[in-house]
Amino acid sequence: MTVRPLFDANATAGGRDLGDLPEWDLTDLYPAPDAPELKRDLDWLEDACKRFAEDYEGKIADLDADAFLEMVHRHERIEAVAGRIMSYAGLRYYQNTTDPARTKMLSDMQEKITAYTTPLVFFSLELNRVPDDTYAALFEANDELARYKPAFDRVRAMKPYQLSDEMEKFLHDMGVVGDAWERLFDETIAGLEFEVDGEVMGIEATLNLLSEQDRAKREAAARALGTVFTNNIRTFSRVHNTQTKEKEVMDRWRGMPTPQTGRHLANDVEPEVVEALRDAVVEAYPRLSHRYYALKAKWMGLDRMEVWDRNAPLPMSSDRTVDWDEARETVMNAYSEFDPKMAEIAQPFFDKGWIDAAVKPGKAPGAFAHPTVTDAHPYVMLNYLGKPRDVMTLAHELGHGVHQVLAAGQGEMLASTPLTLAETASVFGEMLTFQRMLANAKDDAEKKVLLAGKVEDMINTVVRQIAFYDFECKLHEARKGGELTPDDINALWMSVQAESLGPVFDFMEGYETFWAYIPHFVHTPFYVYAYAFGDGLVNALYAEYRERPEGFQEKYFEMLRAGGSKHHKDLLAPFGLDATDPTFWHKGLSMIEGFIDELEAMED
């Protein structure tokens, strides 16, 4: 069993006076790496897994509803203890991925918990062998047990792809090998050094320079990234080849029809819904990214744009730094204006060491909110450097945190939200923060900068992530034909870039390697479409909020409290929305088009 956070879009980076940036206090999980409580939990877990297997293996089909419920409670307790251990080891590791002691602890915990939980592999396998009528009768016989049915239905969805017990145990044990490749990727990324104008810096600080006002500085950063990625491309190619091949082998043995099938099943979303989203976004490229970037080139006085201009600030925007106190106040005011309850849930993140915000040597890049376990609380990681986009990243991750706090009441089996819906609260939190900032804009010039920034963020969330999804689809398909050279992978990357960004762009030598640093491709294949799914869903939700605000907040909190206990169709029904409707995605995309319309109108 491996518990890991899901990295969000890369946060920006820097080295300025940003105020008192918070750090994690992990003692709510364990007092220290050598704490007796940790050894106690490891010993308990080893014994609990053995006893669970002794008590239930070969017997699940004969359990009555009450006995089945007791088994579920025992399994949840095992999940909670294992999750706490792995959360602690993982969060310590992400604070400093170059520390050998932290790396060793994470590896040791992964190996121990994989070994301890191997006897539990029978659980889902046997469950899927229970006859359909017996299965249905169990949940009809006990109301408390019926609450868990959505979680078991998702397990049953894997029934057609289930292997023999021996093979499943083998694959479970082999999971630590995949974890090792992921750690190689993380540690390689964290250890990279980039020289920009004589200054040596890590990846976060270098990526941050791509949004600097000075065009020469942006170009220098982009070329440094391209050079270092190129110099390390064989390592990244090896990681991607190995991970993609491993997935292909497992999918083939399981009989999964596509490489994406496992992700769709995990997300509890129909493949045709994802393809409808993908097709709607690709069809809208000319109306979204192509049109916006042509407008941006005009503002910047450029006939052609380079990749280092994509996230450049507008000429009329200020280069001021947003310190931590201002960022916190901006986000919390936006949350409170929507509903004081939302700000109340968010407050402990700032007060109790639930956020780690500073950029530090060895710290993992990007940002995430990790729920840990339901009897603890989430932790948010940022790499905060005072950019306006960093404020939006704070709003985004805090939205995840609020969602995770609310869903915790569902318990270990039902709290986790499918990735497609996991982005709902985060993107909604961003939208609330943006709308508050827009309403408080001093003049049209500031409003223009805010609108343009929001459009860029939405393009990064929708267009860029669907382009990432297409790249992954091509990568996994191509890998079926054999080993891919770095040039092969580079070519796949470039095949989606011009299409998504538009004809105004040129691409520098070295940009073909920029696939190398995206963590999602390694940690969670096909994760990326969840961003576009979440953005489109939130745009439709926010439009509903503006049109019919009465009672919206309570319906919204109920949706978040549901965690993974309901399908997206059931969650959206109270709002009159349906993601299976082919026109649904056009509603979300029309909001982005509307913002671009406003920007074009300001040119007249």
**Average pLDDT for 562-579:** 91
Query: What is the arithmetic mean of pLDDT over 163-172?
Result: 82
In sequence order, what DSSP letters do the residues of 386-400 get, joined into one string? S-HHHHHHHHHHHHH
Is the pLDDT confidence value at 515 over 70? Answer: yes
| CATH, domain range 274-352+387-601 | 1.10.1370.20
Q: Is the pLDDT of residue 113 over 90?
A: yes
- Distance of alpha carbon 504 from alpha carbon 232, whole angstroms: 29
Does 335 have pLDDT greater than 50?
yes
Handedness of CA 439, 441, 444, 449 (dihedral sign): negative
pLDDT at 13 over 80: no
- Average pLDDT for 549-563: 96
Q: Which amino acid is at 557?
A: F
From the candidate CATH numbers 2.60.40.10, 3.40.50.300, 1.20.140.70, 3.60.20.10, the one assigned to the domain spanning 30-192: 1.20.140.70
Q: Is residue 10 scored above 60 in pLDDT? A: no
Q: Give the chain's length.
A: 604
Domain spans in the chain, listed from the N-terminal domain onward: 30-192, 274-352+387-601
State what percent of residues in the chain have pLDDT above 70: 97
CA pair distance 79, 85, nearest whole angstrom: 10
Residue 181 vs residues 97, 173, 188, 370: alpha-carbon distances, Å:
14, 15, 11, 21
Angle made by CA atoms 535, 541, 543, in degrees to the nearest 5: 105
pLDDT at residue number 36: 98
DSSP states of 276-329 as a string?
A: HHHHHHHHHGGGTHHHHHHHHHHHHT-SSB-GGGTTPPPTTS------HHHHHH
Q: What is the mean pLDDT of residues 383-412?
A: 94
Residue 23 pLDDT class (50, 70, 90 cuts): very high
Q: How far is CA 403 from CA 90, 406, 416, 442, 508, in A?
A: 21, 5, 10, 32, 40
Could you report the per-residue pLDDT of 38-82, keeping only the tens digit for each?
999 999 999 999 999 999 999 999 999 999 999 999 999 999 999
Nearest-CA neighbor of 579 among 526, 540, 528? 540
pLDDT score at 39: 97
pLDDT of res. 99:
95
Least Cα distance to 379 among 10, 176, 93 occurs for: 93
pTM, entire model: 0.81
**3-class DSSP state of 194:** strand
Cα separation, 109 vs 98, in Å, equals 17
379 beta partners: 370
The answer to whether residue 358 scores a pLDDT higher than 70 is yes
CA separation for the pair 350, 19 (Å, rounded):
13
**3-class DSSP state for residue 253?**
helix
